Amino acid sequence: MNIQEIREKNTAELEKTLKDLKEELFNLRFQLAINQLDNPTRITAVKRDIARVNTVLRENELKNSTEA
């Protein structure tokens, strides 16, 4: 997921994406614990996607607070 795709989404879509990513991270960590994880670099990618979504949510929050 790249930053342009994330910035095109509205707040509700971003929150749903964030929820889905956190759920995926939980599942990946669980797979890692029981040694069934095929691609361990996916954990890092999901963490970065979570950070990107959180960043865009915060940017939108700050933009909305300065406009009000």
Q: What gap in Å lies between CA 42 and CA 34, rounded to an integer?
A: 16
At 14, is the pLDDT very low, low, confident or very high (cuts 50, 70, 90)? very high
Q: What is the pTM (predicted TM-score) of this model?
A: 0.92
How far apart are alpha carbons 55 and 21 in whole angstroms?
14
Distance CA 38, CA 40 (A): 6
Question: DSSP readout, 28-39?
Answer: HHHHHHTT--S-
Enumerate the domain spans of the chain.
Answer: 12-67
**Start-to-end CA span in the chain (Å):** 31
Question: At the topology level of CATH, where does 12-67 sit?
Answer: Helix Hairpins (1.10.287)
Residue 1: pLDDT band (50, 70, 90) is: confident
